[in-house]
Chains A and B, each alone.
Chain A
Amino acid sequence: MEQNPDLPQLAILSTGGTIASRIDYRTGAVTSQFDADDILRAIPRLGEIARFRAHQVASILSENMTPPLWIDLARGIYDEIRNGANGVIVTHGTDTMSFSASAISFMLDTPVPVVFVGSQRSADRPSSDNVMNALCSASAALSDLGEVAVLMHASTSDDRCAIHRATKVRKMHTSRRDAFASIGMPPLGYVDYPSLAVSLGDDTVRRRSGEADLHDAIEEKVGLLSFYPGMPADLIAQFEGYRGLVLAGTGLGHVSTASIGALRDLIGGGCHVVMTSQCLYGRVCDRVYDTGRDLLALGVIEGEDMLPEVALVKLMWVLGQHDDPGEVARLMRTNLRGEIRRCSCNGF
């Protein structure tokens, strides 16, 4: 298929997303058939916006995503940027899209937009959100944005898409088109449809010149545990041998007094433990109640206002880069990619 040489260059990397997919009648699942021609045939208007290079990093359901695939993806994006792409679109299943987006966010320092996009309604139905999301993602990938983002419907209507920061976004609904929400901050911006006009907030990291920087080492031996009332302490002990554990505690960041002993052993064994909150909104503070103070005394790291999954991915990455416990703790408490905000915003 002819592409217009006067248009800017974009790259599309697929991990098994639904931009150009069909039903597989054997399994009933949606499969993607993926090259630039397929995409342009499915969504002709893309060809009026940019030139496209496309390649497939994986073809999986997003629940089967793994840290090694994040590394493949980060390298693929890095190569595209080095080869002159003005922006990169990553199509991804929505279930674990925010994990992958935040992983790329930590691994890759990008001067151009890297936009993750998916669809909540499969491409085989006339009402699919795939065409609108894809067109808006292309527009966002050409915009002034200069960070990793997730782009999906802003509401149930086909009127605009929201651009979310990769480290502050979460899938908050099982099925709605507007399932993705920025947590603890407003979206970075919006893309109107069908005009495809992009508006970015002041907070957004802007496109810049210079090279992309890749640090793709990941420590996989990190866990995430959501505390619940009556949770037996030996569940914590199961993480023995892990290099890191993120806890999703209650409220301000608590686990039961009965868990303290097991955590002491774990930390004593060299595991880095980071506390986040099941509340998702707000900041962890372990200085208010006794249990919290006990946790701090053990060496539990306060995860500030990081989302539990983002803290998990960040801890994997930090441990991939550093061994020194003091440096690990310092980095976990330091904002690297917008995952920690200096101030908690009004409202939620």
Chain B
Amino acid sequence: MDFEKLGLKAGIEIHQQLNTKEKLFCRCPTRLRDFEERNGEFFRYLRATESEMGEIDRAAEEEMKVMRGFTYATYDTTCLVENDEEPPAPLNTEALSIALTIAKMTGMTPVEQVHVMRKLVIDGSNTSGFQRTALVALNGCLPEGARIETLCLEEEAAQRVEGETFSLDRLGIPLVEITTAPDMHTPEAVQEVARTIGMILRSTGCVKRGIGTIRQDINISIADGARVEIKGVQELDLIDEVVRREAARQVNLLAIRDELRRRNASVTPEPVVVTSLFADTKSPILQRATYIAAVVLRGFDGLVGREIQPGRRLGSEMADYAKKCGVGGIFHTDELPAYGVTAEEVALVRERVGAGETDCVVLVAAPKERALCAAQQVVRRAELALGGVPEETRKLLEGGSSSYMRPLPGAARMYPETDVLPVRIRAKRWEVIELPELISGKAERFAAEMGLDEALARQMAYSEKAGVFERAVESGVRASLAARTLLGTLRELSREGVAVDRLEDAALLDVLTRAESGALAKEAIPGVIAEICGGLSVDAAVSKVAPAMSEDELLALIRAILSTRAEFVQERGMGALGPLMGVVMKEARGKADGRLISELLKKELRQRV
């Protein structure tokens, strides 16, 4: 596909969790918990409210088709603010400082006053029914030339555990949301920009790391298509594929539109009740159904079942819309007979609703109210197909395809958060922000100044352990030893199931300096670290894994070495000290301190010379 010719336009929104001590609007820690650790649950309904203009947001309205209740799990690390039972605390200043640093790193202009807004979200992921968000800075640019439009500080949503159950540990963790202009014209460019922004965010040293801590939403359109936002892309390497597949989906939807127009297709808005036709059906779903509605799509035959993306058909889109009414899915004649529905039954339906060969019939089975709601949704999606590509918010599916979530939100979505006072950003505060070294620059420095090869330097710079690495090298540890331990050894231990994430930087630094000084054998490093992770102090771990030799044992070792090398000692006199030092060190295997060895060896040697 020639994306530039297709008129591909893409932009990204990156959401990155900040590693602050406390949440954005309460004083709870930003710690994720296991669902099993919950200490309580409660249950709520959410309903769309009118904006100040008296409108209900179209995205919120879509979520409201059924009255949905949500269950929330609480923890001993969550509070009444997450429960929507207490007004928010003032905006977390640590989070604001990090956001301002990022803004300055990308050449953005801060706003004079940070105003917190409420963004209506009633899918249950926010107990309040809105997400708090605040614009912090505007108009930045990236090395590649891509423009950053806005940087916002937002609260993270609650994590969906399953169905309509959410966990409150994640709700309220600070996020920065960085939105680029729709400047990218190829899938690769989108991925590259995402990579660069990710690198800049990590360079602050103040962002959370690991799965789910950074998410990309991608905005994509092609000429004659429509803006579609795909939410929740967590893997950087999937971004180009997501863009490719969405471009393809839009191309295919446009082709379907053209074909529908050629056929003079139309949608019959009134569904027909066909429940009685399936009185004796073998289809388990239709058998159970108390109400079956049929929607006739004139001229749609073969197109509803046409693939528009790997694993996705126009029918899948209709099913997504129908599911908003609480039905499990739909049947359509492009895929029938199947699922227990016979060819005879299909023929009966076609006859009852007056559908010809070029028409497609969609069936919805559910209790009456839901079935009628779903039928209406099918009609809506079919009508949208006549227009080409609808503007939508979509959810990423495994592999890079996507499913429909809701319409793009409208202007009625945002309104002021009156419980949080605005924060003024004074010029002084902006001026004193010091820019952290970019990870890309750090990688070059590690290679140039510390002699690491380029790949290792890059790996070290991107690592969370870059800070320990630098401190170790400053205190005299060889860069190669530090890098090998911090990257290789830790990864291997982690694979073996050792909880290396519990390791404190100070302990690592201690182990590295002992190894460098010879007080600890390099071979003993993995064993010692494993013991520290198991809860021992550095001293205790060293004496357990690599116990120090007693002075007597060391003396015996030195004397034995001197006797087997008596001739060499005679020959070189005190000059044998250097070479013999190496021999003893090697034999002691790090179990004795280098200085003690040197002292004893010198004494013994002097007696023999």
Contacts and interface: CB of A to CB of B under 8 A. Distances in A.
**Chain B binds chain A:** yes
Interface of A: 22-23, 25, 28-29, 120-121, 123-128, 131-132, 155-159, 174-177, 194
A45 B129 CA distance: 21
Contact of A127 (B50, B80, B129): B129
A174 to B, nearest CB: 8
Between B45, B86, B128, the greatest number of chain A beta carbons within 10 A of the residue's beta carbon is seen for B45
B44 A176 contact: no
Contact of B418 (A23, A120, A126, A176): A23
Contacts of B43: 157-159
Nearest to B54: A22
A126 B130 contact: yes
A29 B415 CA distance: 14
Contacts of B87: 175
Q: Please classify the interface of chain A as helix (H, G, I), strand (E, B), loop, or mixed, using the class held by over half of its residues.
A: loop
Contact of B85 (A22, A124, A125, A176): A176
Contact of B49 (A120, A124, A157): A124
A126 B86 contact: no
Given A125-B128, A126-B128, A176-B80, A23 B44 contact: no
Given A126-B47, A131-B47, A156 B83 contact: yes
Given A158-B44, A177-B85, A123 B80 contact: no
Contacts of B45: 132, 158
B45 to A, nearest CB: 5
A158 B128 contact: no
A162 B483 CA distance: 64
A177 B44 CA distance: 11
Contacts of A158: 43-45, 69
B270 interface: no
22 contacts: A23-B52, A23-B416, A23-B418, A25-B416, A29-B418, A120-B85, A123-B49, A126-B47, A126-B122, A126-B129, A127-B46, A127-B128, A127-B129, A132-B45, A158-B69, A159-B43, A174-B86, A175-B80, A175-B87, A176-B80, A176-B85, A194-B67
B415 A156 contact: no
B52 A126 contact: no
Interface string B332-362: 0000000000000000000000000000000
A175 B89 CA distance: 13
Contacts of B42: 155-157
Contacts of B130: 125-126
Interface string B46-62: 11111010000000100
A120 B44 CA distance: 14
B127 interface: yes
A159 B43 CA distance: 7
Contacts of A23: 52, 415-416, 418
Nearest to B44: A158
Q: Among the interface residues A124, A128, A155, A159, which one has the most CB atoms of the partner chain B within 10 A?
A: A124
A95 to B, nearest CB: 14
Nearest to B85: A176
B44 A127 contact: yes
Contacts of B47: 126, 131
B129 A125 contact: yes
Interface string B72-92: 000000001001111100000
B118 to A, nearest CB: 8
A22 B53 CA distance: 11
Contacts of B127: 127
A8 to B, nearest CB: 25
A114 to B, nearest CB: 27
Q: 4 nearest interchain CB pairs? A: A126-B129, A28-B418, A157-B43, A157-B42
Nearest to A124: B49
Interface string B388-432: 000000000000000000000000000110100000000000000
Nearest to A159: B43
B558 interface: no
Contacts of B128: 125-127
Interface string B104-140: 0000000000000010101000011110000000000
Contacts of A156: 42, 83, 85
Given A121-B84, A125-B49, A126-B60, 12 more contacts: A28-B416, A124-B415, A125-B128, A125-B130, A126-B46, A126-B47, A126-B122, A126-B128, A126-B129, A127-B84, A127-B127, A158-B44
A177 B80 CA distance: 11
A132 B50 CA distance: 17
Contacts of B84: 121, 125, 127
A158 to B, nearest CB: 5
A26 B416 CA distance: 12
B360 to A, nearest CB: 36
B135 to A, nearest CB: 18
B48 to A, nearest CB: 6
B418 A175 contact: no
Contacts of A176: 80, 85-86
B567 to A, nearest CB: 87
Given A22-B52, A158-B44, A175-B87, A126 B69 contact: no
Contacts of B418: 23, 28-29
Contacts of B52: 22-23, 25
A131 to B, nearest CB: 6
Contacts of A127: 44, 46, 84, 127-129
B44 A157 contact: yes
A128 B85 CA distance: 10
Nearest to A28: B418
Nearest to B74: A156
Contacts of B50: 22
Highest count of chain B CB atoms <10 Å: which of A121, A131, A155, A157: A157
B134 to A, nearest CB: 16
A24 to B, nearest CB: 9
Contacts of B415: 23, 124
Contacts of A174: 86
Most A-side CB within 10 Å, residue of B52, B67, B84, B127? B84
Contacts of A28: 416, 418
Nearest to B128: A127
Contacts of B44: 127, 157-158
Given A23-B415, A157-B43, A126 B85 contact: no
A245 to B, nearest CB: 35
A126 B80 contact: no
B62 to A, nearest CB: 14
B128 to A, nearest CB: 5
A318 to B, nearest CB: 38
Nearest to B63: A126
A131 B44 CA distance: 12
A158 B44 CA distance: 5
B68 to A, nearest CB: 11
Nearest to A30: B418
A128 B48 CA distance: 10
A126 B126 CA distance: 10
Contacts of A128: 49
Interface string B493-534: 000000000000000000000000000000000000000000
A335 to B, nearest CB: 35
Contacts of B118: 125
B120 to A, nearest CB: 7
Nearest to A122: B418
A58 B518 CA distance: 83
A274 to B, nearest CB: 35
A157 B120 CA distance: 21
A189 to B, nearest CB: 21
A39 to B, nearest CB: 14
Nearest to B45: A158
Nearest to A29: B418
Contacts of B69: 158
Given A23-B415, A158-B69, A175 B86 contact: yes
B582 to A, nearest CB: 71
A108 B39 CA distance: 45
